[in-house]
Structure 1
Amino acid sequence: MSTHVTHLKGATHRGYLELPWGQVHFRRSGPAGGPALVVVHQSPLSSATYEPAMAALAAHGLDTVAIDIPGFGMSDATPEQWSIPEYATALWQITDALGLGKVHLLGQHTGAIIAAEATLQQRDRVLGLIFQGIPLYSDEERAEKAARYAPGYTPAPDGAHLQVVWDRVRWLYPTISAESASRQVAEYLSVGPDYGVAYRAVFAHRADTAALKGVPTLLLHGSEDVLDRMNDVVTAAFPDAPLVRIDGGTDFVAEEKPQEFAAAVAGHVLAHAAAAAPPFTPLYTAVVEVTGGRAGRARSRSGTLELALTRPAERSGAAGAGATGTDPEELFAAGYAACFGSALGVAERRRRVSAGPVTVTASVTLGTRPGGTYGIAVRLAVTAPRCPQPVLEELVALTHTLCPYSGAVRGNIDVTTEVTGGS
């Protein structure tokens, strides 16, 4: 049994965001700038449910962020009882703090209701939805569950409340492993005796599924998921959404069958990722005229740039010691480093941290490929001696999603990033 399943930690990068109500804990995997997938778990559990699938999702090229809903897992509690619209508003605040624009949303149970409401709030930012079980209760069911579904527990000196929580988990999920059930007990305890706070929000909310028509949607869950019983209701509400049931999987199919789960998720996300490119609005245009190719001259239309260009062979080794002029690789390196440094400043403001003095060094290498064609590769070295290494790494990852140079070359050339922060 993988230790990823048994506790709240894991191998995925983890971090915290500072939001108006407190800290929000998240897990993140995959390439910066890949199709963004935001995962919202069921209550009263946490993003640890998805830890075993994070690497598999990354392998498909998805930039996946699994959050701990405010008040659950390792995220701070809300100051008062929140409604589903308030949770949805918070989800967009979290998404903004992560530096993400348009995203795909995956929600499970409580998380599905939050994701649906978030889509209604900012539909233009949602490229696709995945509901891993969405509880579309009738008015009668919502009233009944509000009255008795999550009674809470009272801490007892002899630890009897631990048995209460264990029995509840086993009642809900009789077939899951003891390791997974143990982790869930820890998740219940992390919330506190009143673990039903998000349930109350769900039971008080009526999801407007008709308003979601036109949003690419996938219904995905294990065949043994507790909400599998609602398939008739859910498929009627989302007639255009395919239903994928992973055989033998429970509510925790992401940890039980991570590869199969990730393949189904990625298939939907990648099929609807093309719309991720935002519309292009021109802000500034630089015009440079070059005559004579690599051995010629470059002059900007503004007249502020005028210089000689030199071939790489004339700048290499001892023969190039006295060479004058520059070359396209140096110019590209200067542009990339300058742009990346400015984008890192934006990342600092979004994360509400200061990296201190930062130096970005770009090395652009011209080389050959099989068949005699030419190509380039880039190495970025980012140094900030006053910034803790983990903080700087997080800032640089975010910067790659913000810098237009990184966006332009992503998937086209090799870009290696070296990050050197303080202790």
Structure 2
Amino acid sequence: MTTHMKGTSRRGYLDLPHGQVHYREAGRSGAPALVVLHQSPLSSATYEPVMELLAGHGIQVVALDTPGFGMSDATPGQWSMSEYAASVWQAVDALGLGTVHLLGQHTGALIAAEAALSGRERVSGLIFQGIPLYTDEERAEKAETYAPSYTTDADGGHLKVIWDRIRGLYPTISADSASRQVAEYLSVGPRYGVAYPAVFRYQVDPAALAGIPTLLLHGTEDVLDRMNDVVTAAFPHAPLVTIPGGTDFVAEEQPEVFAAAVAEHVLHAPALASPPPFTPVYTATADAAGGRGGTGRSRTGSLAGPDAAGGAQ
């Protein structure tokens, strides 16, 4: 099992407007494309053990280091979720990919959701490997207390602080995996929680994602497994697949099982409906009540389309 930062997949850098973005790639160009977005404050190395297996299923997989994490350059300032999502599409364009599937874990799942909203016509499917649907109270509390920064100590005491945090979150993972995560924390620096303000300000709109083939996939020991009831209610048409015994790092713990579940969705998800074969001449928002015999009220002024006075057919 590969648990270090390198691995055997092809690696490279993309020159994007905000700096360089590091990525890993496996599989044949032109195959169904899967873009993988990791949880923070880690990196694409989480998915190194499963890259070649996904390629073996006939998938072109690209795992990005989110800007500011892994070996990607830091962002020029505090980013919003929409800016993280925009960087995904910049990377997709730089790689010459067309329509893609998006797999995101935790922070990466929120980035994937926002990317799907902003580039829906480019998304063939979504896989959420644990998506945090916090209440307003949870988001407010976490914004105040989660991921406190550390001070770099001359005696290396900060390494123990990082180690203890990782072990507290994931007590059952291997020492090798925990060691890699220490390196990932250090690659970001004392403000390793730089993406969390965007996370705790962001509210997913599941209804807006309706119609995109979506899979909920994670290990039974994932820290967000506790949200299953909330998440399945929010995404009622998305199947939930849990991998027994898998932690947040099930992709490196059980790579064959994980790859098979991902490939099943990527290769067999139903195609998205074609866009309507017309160009809208007017868009309005309205409230309606009472069914066919009821009333309607426009929120956006008088209707201005050429057939506005014709009524419903």
TM range (shorter): 0.7 to 0.9
Q: Does 1:200 align with 2:197?
A: yes
Q: Distance in 2 between matches of 1:152 and 1:8?
A: 23
- 1:346-391 Cα shifts (integer Å, max 9, x gaps): xxxxxxxxxxxxxxxxxxxxxxxxxxxxxxxxxxxxxxxxxxxxxx
Instruction: Give, as a single letter, the amino acid of the residue that structure 2 aligns with 1:86.
Output: E
Q: 8 Å contact 1:35–1:269 — kept in the other structure?
A: yes
Q: Name the structure 2 match of 1:59.
A: 56
Q: Name the structure 2 match of 1:151.
A: 148
Q: Distance in 2 between matches of 1:70 and 1:97?
A: 15
Q: Name the structure 1 match of 2:95.
A: 98
Q: Secondary structure at the match of 2:155?
A: coil
1:253-292 aligned at under 5 Å gives the runs 253-272=250-269
Q: Distance in 1 between matches of 2:96 and 2:271?
A: 19
Evaluate the alpha carbon distance shift between residue 8 and residue 114 of structure 1 in structure 2; reply closer, same or farther with a 3 A threshold. Answer: same
- 1:180-208 Cα shifts (integer Å, max 9, x gaps): 00000000000000001111110011111
Q: 8 Å contact 1:155–1:193 — kept in the other structure?
A: yes
Q: Name the structure 2 match of 1:15.
A: 12
- 1:263-317 Cα shifts (integer Å, max 9, x gaps): 0000000012756999xxxxxxxxxxxxxxxxxxxxxxxxxxxxxxxxxxxxxxx
Which of 206, 213, 219 is the matching residue for 2:216?
219
Instruction: Give, as a single letter, the amino acid of the residue that structure 2 aligns with 1:46.
Output: S
Displacement after TM superposition at 1:135 (Å): 0.3
Evaluate the alpha carbon distance shift between residue 261 and residue 276 of structure 1 in structure 2; reply closer, same or farther with a 3 A threshold. Answer: farther
Q: Secondary structure at the match of 1:180?
A: helix
Q: TM-score under structure 1 normalisation?
A: 0.64
- 1:215-256 Cα shifts (integer Å, max 9, x gaps): 100000000000000000000000000000000100000000
Q: Secondary structure at the match of 2:98?
A: coil
- 1:83-140 Cα shifts (integer Å, max 9, x gaps): 0011001111111101011000000000000000000001011010000000000110
Instruction: Give, as a single letter, the amino acid of the residue that structure 2 aligns with 1:221.
Output: H
The CA RMSD over aligned residues, in Å, is 1.4
Q: Distance in 2 between matches of 1:231 and 1:88?
A: 24
Q: Does 1:233 align with 2:233?
A: no
Q: Does 1:119 align with 2:116?
A: yes
Evaluate the alpha carbon distance shift between residue 215 and residue 273 of structure 1 in structure 2; reply closer, same or farther with a 3 A threshold. Answer: closer
Q: Secondary structure at the match of 2:195?
A: helix
Q: Distance in 2 between matches of 1:57 and 1:273?
A: 19
> Please, which runs of 5 or more residues in structure 2 have no aligned partner?
276-313
Which of 13, 27, 30 is the matching residue for 1:30?
27
Which of 107, 125, 129 is the matching residue for 1:128?
125
1:219-368 aligned at under 5 Å gives the runs 219-272=216-269
Q: Distance in 2 between matches of 1:205 and 1:253?
A: 26
Which of 166, 170, 177 is the matching residue for 1:173?
170
How many corresponding residue pairs?
275
Q: Distance in 1 between matches of 2:261 and 2:221?
A: 17
Q: Which has more radius of gyration?
A: 1
Q: Name the structure 2 match of 1:353.
A: none
Q: Distance in 2 between matches of 1:98 and 1:200?
A: 29
Instruction: Give, as a single letter, the amino acid of the residue that structure 2 aligns with 1:90.
Output: S
Q: Secondary structure at the match of 1:38?
A: strand
Q: Name the structure 2 match of 1:295.
A: none
Q: Secondary structure at the match of 1:245?
A: strand
Q: Distance in 2 between matches of 1:202 and 1:229?
A: 18
Displacement after TM superposition at 1:214 (Å): 0.8
Q: Name the structure 1 match of 2:309.
A: none
Higher relative contact order (CA 8 A, sep 6+): 2
Q: 8 Å contact 1:35–1:276 — kept in the other structure?
A: no
Q: 8 Å contact 1:39–1:67 — kept in the other structure?
A: yes
Q: Secondary structure at the match of 1:197?
A: coil
Q: Name the structure 1 match of 2:180.
A: 183
Runs of 4+ in 1 over 4 A off after TM superposition: 273-278
Evaluate the alpha carbon distance shift between residue 167 and residue 126 of structure 1 in structure 2; reply closer, same or farther with a 3 A threshold. Answer: same
Q: Distance in 1 between matches of 2:60 and 2:205?
A: 28
Q: Name the structure 2 match of 1:302.
A: none
Q: Distance in 2 between matches of 1:151 and 1:274?
A: 43
Which of 47, 50, 56 is the matching residue for 2:44?
47
Displacement after TM superposition at 1:41 (Å): 0.2
Q: 8 Å contact 2:25–2:63 — kept in the other structure?
A: yes
Q: TM-score under structure 2 normalisation?
A: 0.86
Among the aligned pairs, what percent are the same residue?
Answer: 73
Q: Secondary structure at the match of 1:215?
A: coil
Instruction: Give, as a single letter, the amino acid of the residue that structure 2 aligns with 1:139.
Output: D
More strand by share: 1
Q: Distance in 2 between matches of 1:206 and 1:215?
A: 18
Q: Name the structure 1 match of 2:311.
A: none
Q: Secondary structure at the match of 1:157?
A: coil
Q: Name the structure 2 match of 1:296.
A: none
